[in-house]
Structure 1
């Protein structure tokens, strides 16, 4: 089984973002997780078009746009034009997820859906065949540095069982440290978002943090 990590660029040093992307390109990460927040669906703002375009231009790995915004259908074409590879919308923001997935795929991106902690995975049962990935929020969306919600282990396992043999990746986002990452991977997730508790630890080099992460998850037997 392959383990994956996706650095959250929201947690990176914003004054050195380009340098950070170049460093991460060479570390073996699986994709860049870039948060987009509109100040409405979540109480925060993050990453406008110019920043996303710059990241997409510099990234040698896929760019996963986690769109925490109302009316996600209004942003599909623009995010495709910016160069994003994945477009992840929140299931809570739409009544037409099947149409949204079709529009995302037609624009040349891979559709993904995110679920807030209070949203049950059973709501994805009929949608899974339309998705390439699911992001399970393990904290309330909108701010980095929150504590992981422990009931998420069961939720990860339930989604893993529901997916079965489908080629749908499970990403876990929020409050993940190395120990939590190991447990999440053991429950069936494929990718953990690397933030302040893993890849961007204060006072440590990113490469050092990544090595520690890799060593920690190799201990998991699945």
Structure 2
């Protein structure tokens, strides 16, 4: 047996009615609870905290909770893997103190295997790193899952789908970048949508498929139709006067597209 191979993420149905079973690893239960919250069977919006007002961080978190946000997306940039810098574990610790929402960390950093534990310790529930930063992500995905966290892989627009395909079964989540990573406010790149469709065809309903970059009311429908379900949105939420109305508008468009796609199958 190949000792480097790990199996697919555990189906959620495996845990039904087994919460009191002492044979179940508690870390698996924690991970699958996060998966339930990120994948409730309908579109979920993940506000990108990169676009928030960091001078009023506590107020921003409160506004997002009141607006119905279900997860907070944390863009971590190191100035090396991407040219920009954002924030690190200390800021995330402060965010964790302010909310019980799942924290979805997107590590746009070099050597994620060296650093991801610091983000786990800071309170992140899901950790996604880039296939471009980790030539063989198998061990890293296994370690993140063993820590009770949701393990994700991200893929940049220029990267071939073939690069990530061998590792999809080992991930709980795949994040398809629809802009080049490193800066907010970029335009949506529709040429990445075939990657979303191929992921959905490969993994069926097991995998959380997320998309990040240029998501707004004019672009979310095509992403939802392709099979995305967790939508990272920055400017389209934080540039709005009413965060709740913005989230509802995005969700409504995604709902319509998802329903139409299902009816057309």
TM (norm. structure 1) is 0.92
Structure with bigger helix share is 2
Would the alpha carbon gap of residues 49 and 150 (structure 1) be closer, same or farther in structure 2, given more than 3 Å must change? Answer: same
Structure 1 match to 2:106: 66
Alignment match, 2:24 = none
Contact 1:25 1:60 in 2 (8 A): no
Q: Could you tell me which residue of structure 2 aligns to residue 215 of structure 1?
A: 252
Q: Which residue of 1 aligns with 2:57?
A: 17
Equivalences for residues 20-169 of structure 1 within 5 A: 20-165=60-205, 167-169=206-208
Aligned partner of 1:186 among 225, 243, 246:
225
Name the SS for the 1:179 alignment partner: coil
Q: Per-residue deviation at 1:51? A: 0.9
SS in 2 for 1:51: helix
Taking only aligned residues, the RMSD between alpha carbons, in angstroms, comes to 1.5
Q: TM-score of the superposition, structure 2-length normalised? A: 0.78
Question: What is the CA distance between 1:188 and its match in structure 2?
Answer: 0.4
Range with bigger deviation, 75-84 or 17-26: 17-26
After TM superposition, give the deviation of residue 159 of structure 1 in Å.
Answer: 1.8
Aligned counterparts of 2:157 and 2:81: Cα–Cα separation in 1: 14
Quote how far apart the aligned CAs of 1:124 are: 2.6
Aligned residue number for residue 239 of structure 2: 201
Structure 1: 5+ residue stretches without partners: none
Larger Rg: 2
Conserved? CA contact 1:37–1:44, under 8 Å = yes
Deviations along 1:19-55, whole A, 9 cap, x unmatched?
1112222333332100100000000001122211111
Structure 1 stretches of at least 4 aligned residues deviating more than 3 Å after TM superposition: none
**TM-superposed deviation, 1:16:** 1.7
Taking the aligned partners of 1:71 and 1:113, their CA distance within structure 2 comes to 14
Q: CA deviation at 1:75?
A: 1.2
Q: What is the aligned length?
A: 219
Gaps of 5+ in 2: 1-40
Query: SS of 2:189's equivalent?
Result: coil
Equivalent residue for 1:175, pick from 178, 197, 214: 214
Preserved CA contact (<8 Å) 1:88 1:111: yes
User: Is the CA contact (8 Å cut-off) linking 1:201 and 1:209 kept in structure 2?
Assistant: no
SS at match of 1:219: helix
Judge conservation of contact 1:76–1:107 (CA < 8 Å) in 2: no
Structure with bigger strand share is 1
How far apart are 1:192 and its partner, in Å? 1.0
For 2:73, what is the secondary structure of its paired residue? strand
Deviation at 1:206, TM superposition (A): 1.3
Secondary structure at 2:218 match in 1: helix
* In 2, Cα distance between equivalents of 1:179 and 1:34: 23
